[in-house]
Chain A
Amino acid sequence: MGVITHTPAEQTLIDLLDGAEDWRAAAREAVVKFGLPTKRAEAWKWSDLRRATQGIEAAGVAGYRLDGSAIGPQITLGAGEEMMLDLTATAGVGIAALEIHVPAGQTARLIERHDLAAGAFVTARLEITLGEAATLERVVISEIDADAVGALRTRVVVAKHAKYRQSAVSFGSKLSRHETHVSHAGEGAEVDLGAVYLLAEGRHADFTSTVTHTGAGGVTRQLVKGAVAAHAQGVFQGKFKVEQAAQQTDAKMTHRALMLSDKAEIDAKPELEIYADDVQCAHGNALGAIDETALFYMRQRGLSEAKARAMLIESFLTEPLMLIESETLRERVTGLLRVRLGEMA
């Protein structure tokens, strides 16, 4: 194989990972050999990380903070705890990692916010494990600088009878990759993945996920909705894998997005890979534009075009947020959407 010439961002990442162990060592090895993923890699064809990190050279500082304090590599949540988790990064290349465990039978809520500065490139890994009959609600609010790059990967291991509910909102950036990979034990376990992306001109967001059902009788619901302005790009890659042992799996995936302009780009790839014969699995994918008839109807009643548009987009986007249990939190997230929609008008 030919030797590749590393970009400054790649070289900085390799240096940062020098001497590392576990996944970091594997990640370093991959960057040394192949560089950062480009659009030539199937899984990254709509999110060219190598290209997006051009111009980022020095090392920066990135990390997770829990309720405002720096934390170690592992935490345990439980006893109905609600925690604020912040992923922050300064300009430059940064790495952040955290392991979160919710013990058997415990319930917790995690509110995660991303705050990446202009010129930041962050590789982040979150490893979440739910013990038997544990419950975790995770709400992710990704409001990062337009000029930041995030490759944010979460792995979730869901044990029997556990419930994992994730609602993510992303306003995108130069490149925002949100990966979620769930190992689903079935046997009464339930997984809900909700996501919303609202992308102003020039922004990119990518929701890529896999849910692997390993045990029988698991339930998964995934609803992803997006709205994309001119010269912005939304990406959805969702995969359900149902192993042979995972009979009676009930899994449903839906992605729906609005093109707010002829010059918007939305790329979607829903996939089912099923090895069990007695399952209920479905996926749906639909792209559309704002309903011009509804727009005229609303304007005829006196609403300005901008206001009518914002109301239509908001009502379209909020559906996945119904997952959020706390009404206060749901209202707060909807409020963020409303502010962004106002700015986009």
Chain B
Amino acid sequence: MIKINNLHCKVEAQDGEEKPILKGLSLEVPAGEVHAIMGPNGSGKSTLSYVLTGRDGYEVTQGEMDFSGEDLAELEPEERAAKGLYLSFQYPVEIPGVPTLTFLKEALNAQRTARGEEEMSAPDFLKLAREKAKAIGVSMDMLKRPVNVGFSGGEKKRMEILQALILEPKFLILDETDSGLDIDALKTVAEGVNTLRADDRGMLVITHYQRLLDYIKPDVVHIMADGRIIKSGGPELAHELEAEGYDKYLTEVA
């Protein structure tokens, strides 16, 4: 589903200087699998999520990113979204003045149009939104409010998963979805994510802590440091990391 080969990426900092962040990252996530990426701060985890989704300022200098047979680097962010790539943001963005329902209806119909499907009618969309919101414990009242404005950290993360439930992407990248969540919210969000697990859908779960992986059980765990995957293994690798910390891997890189 997603194949990343020897990916190098540099990022333009605010002062205009370019810094290499990804340094030959290779990763393959087949359909139906959930992979986790764990790594210390600054290892390039968030950069990977942005370069895959096409954020400005994240430039691929070498390597390939293939999504279901297509070269991602050739596509605009909205084209990648329409092909089914979804990023749950570490810091979901507030958009004052745009009601969440309006935003999601516009987004869903933009994706459908791009895929050559018919737009969803307003009543059908409302029915869909109501059903999915209920499943993840979000009130319709919240959906009438502007996107993420005034929401707590936990509410924002819940909204990210609700958006995924409505947009039904083929591949999800969850960037630090557990941060800012208490244990009850974490369980609800994980339940939402688990309902999205399917044979034709892949997921990449980016996290600093092992805690989230108790609820979203990965098939494979990768450890990332200094812009590369330095070790891959089964779910037991996450527990090993939790017990021993990242130090061992950092010294290996150094």
Hey, which bits of chain A sit against chain B, CB under 8 A?
Answer: 291-294, 296-305, 307, 311-312, 314-316, 318-319
- What 0/1 readout, one digit per residue, does chain B (63-99) give for beta carbons within 8 Å of chain A? 0000000000000111011100011010011111110
Q: Which 10 A-B pairs have the closest CB atoms?
A: A315-B97, A302-B111, A301-B107, A299-B77, A297-B93, A302-B81, A302-B110, A302-B107, A299-B78, A315-B98
Quick one: given A294-B93, A315-B98, A318-B97, are A301 and B167 in contact (CB under 8 Å)?
Answer: yes
Additional A-B contacts beyond A298-B107, A302-B81, A303-B78 (14; CB < 8 A):
A294-B94, A298-B95, A298-B103, A299-B54, A299-B81, A300-B81, A302-B114, A303-B106, A303-B107, A304-B78, A305-B78, A314-B97, A315-B97, A316-B96
Quick one: given A296-B55, A300-B87, are A311 and B78 in contact (CB under 8 Å)?
Answer: no
The complex places the Cα of A336 from the Cα of B106 at a distance, in Å, of 19
The complex places the Cα of A14 from the Cα of B98 at a distance, in Å, of 51
Contact, CB under 8 Å: B77 / A296: yes
Closest to B146 in A: A315
- What 0/1 readout, one digit per residue, does chain B (41-57) give for beta carbons within 8 Å of chain A? 00000000000011110
Closest to B91 in A: A293
Closest to B50 in A: A296
Tell me how far the C-beta of A220 lies from the nearest C-beta in chain B, rounded to whole angstroms: 24
Set of chain A residues within 8 Å of B86, measured between Cβ atoms:
300
Contact, CB under 8 Å: B97 / A316: yes
Tell me how far the C-beta of A11 lies from the nearest C-beta in chain B, rounded to whole angstroms: 48
Set of chain A residues within 8 Å of B207, measured between Cβ atoms:
none
Set of chain B residues within 8 Å of A297, measured between Cβ atoms:
89, 92-93, 95
* B163 beta carbon closer than 8 Å to chain A: yes
Set of chain A residues within 8 Å of B54, measured between Cβ atoms:
299
Q: How many A-B residue pairs have CB under 8 A?
A: 70
Set of chain A residues within 8 Å of B98, measured between Cβ atoms:
311-312, 315
Secondary structure class of chain A's binding surface, majority of residues: helix
Query: Number of contact residues on B: which range applies?
Result: 20 to 34
Set of chain B residues within 8 Å of A302, measured between Cβ atoms:
78, 81-82, 107-108, 110-111, 114, 167
10 A-B pairs with CB atoms under 8 Å apart are A294-B93, A300-B53, A300-B80, A300-B81, A301-B167, A302-B78, A303-B107, A311-B106, A312-B95, A316-B97
Closest to B115 in A: A302
Closest to B96 in A: A315
Set of chain A residues within 8 Å of B95, measured between Cβ atoms:
294, 297-298, 311-312, 315
- What 0/1 readout, one digit per residue, does chain B (159-174) give for beta carbons within 8 Å of chain A? 0000100010000000
Closest to A311 in B: B98
The complex places the Cα of A296 from the Cα of B92 at a distance, in Å, of 11
Closest to B49 in A: A300
The complex places the Cα of A314 from the Cα of B95 at a distance, in Å, of 12
Quick one: given A294-B93, A311-B98, A312-B95, are A301 and B56 in contact (CB under 8 Å)?
Answer: no
Point out the residue from B53, B104, B110 that lies within 8 Å of A304, measured CB to CB. B110
Set of chain A residues within 8 Å of B110, measured between Cβ atoms:
302-304, 307
Contact, CB under 8 Å: B55 / A307: no
Tell me how far the C-beta of B223 lies from the nearest C-beta in chain A, rounded to whole angstroms: 26
Tell me how far the C-beta of A217 lies from the nearest C-beta in chain B, rounded to whole angstroms: 32
Set of chain B residues within 8 Å of A307, measured between Cβ atoms:
106, 110
Closest to A295 in B: B56
The complex places the Cα of A304 from the Cα of B76 at a distance, in Å, of 9
Closest to A318 in B: B97
Tell me how far the C-beta of A276 lies from the nearest C-beta in chain B, rounded to whole angstroms: 35
Closest to B95 in A: A294
Point out the residue from A292, A301, A312, A319 that lies within 8 Å of B81, measured CB to CB. A301
Contact, CB under 8 Å: A319 / B111: no
Contact, CB under 8 Å: B97 / A319: yes
Quick one: given A292-B56, A307-B106, A311-B106, are A299 and B96 in contact (CB under 8 Å)?
Answer: no
The complex places the Cα of A293 from the Cα of B111 at a distance, in Å, of 20
Find residues 190-235 in chain B having any chain A CB closer than 8 Å to their own CB.
Answer: none
The complex places the Cα of A318 from the Cα of B89 at a distance, in Å, of 27
Set of chain A residues within 8 Å of B80, measured between Cβ atoms:
300
The complex places the Cα of A312 from the Cα of B147 at a distance, in Å, of 12
Tell me how far the C-beta of A49 lies from the nearest C-beta in chain B, rounded to whole angstroms: 35
Set of chain B residues within 8 Å of A301, measured between Cβ atoms:
81, 103-104, 107, 163, 167
Set of chain B residues within 8 Å of A303, measured between Cβ atoms:
78, 106-107, 110
Tell me how far the C-beta of B222 lies from the nearest C-beta in chain A, rounded to whole angstroms: 23
Quick one: given A299-B77, A311-B106, are A293 and B93 in contact (CB under 8 Å)?
Answer: yes
Most B-side CB within 10 Å, residue of A291, A300, A305: A300
Set of chain B residues within 8 Å of A311, measured between Cβ atoms:
95, 98, 103, 106
The complex places the Cα of A302 from the Cα of B119 at a distance, in Å, of 13
Tell me how far the C-beta of A194 lies from the nearest C-beta in chain B, rounded to whole angstroms: 15
Quick one: given A294-B93, A315-B96, A315-B97, are A300 and B77 in contact (CB under 8 Å)?
Answer: yes
Tell me how far the C-beta of A150 lies from the nearest C-beta in chain B, rounded to whole angstroms: 29
Set of chain B residues within 8 Å of A292, measured between Cβ atoms:
56
The complex places the Cα of A315 from the Cα of B94 at a distance, in Å, of 12
Tell me how far the C-beta of B78 lies from the nearest C-beta in chain A, rounded to whole angstroms: 5
The complex places the Cα of A302 from the Cα of B77 at a distance, in Å, of 7
Find residues 17-54 in chain B having any chain A CB closer than 8 Å to their own CB.
Answer: 53-54
Set of chain A residues within 8 Å of B107, measured between Cβ atoms:
298, 301-303
Closest to B112 in A: A302
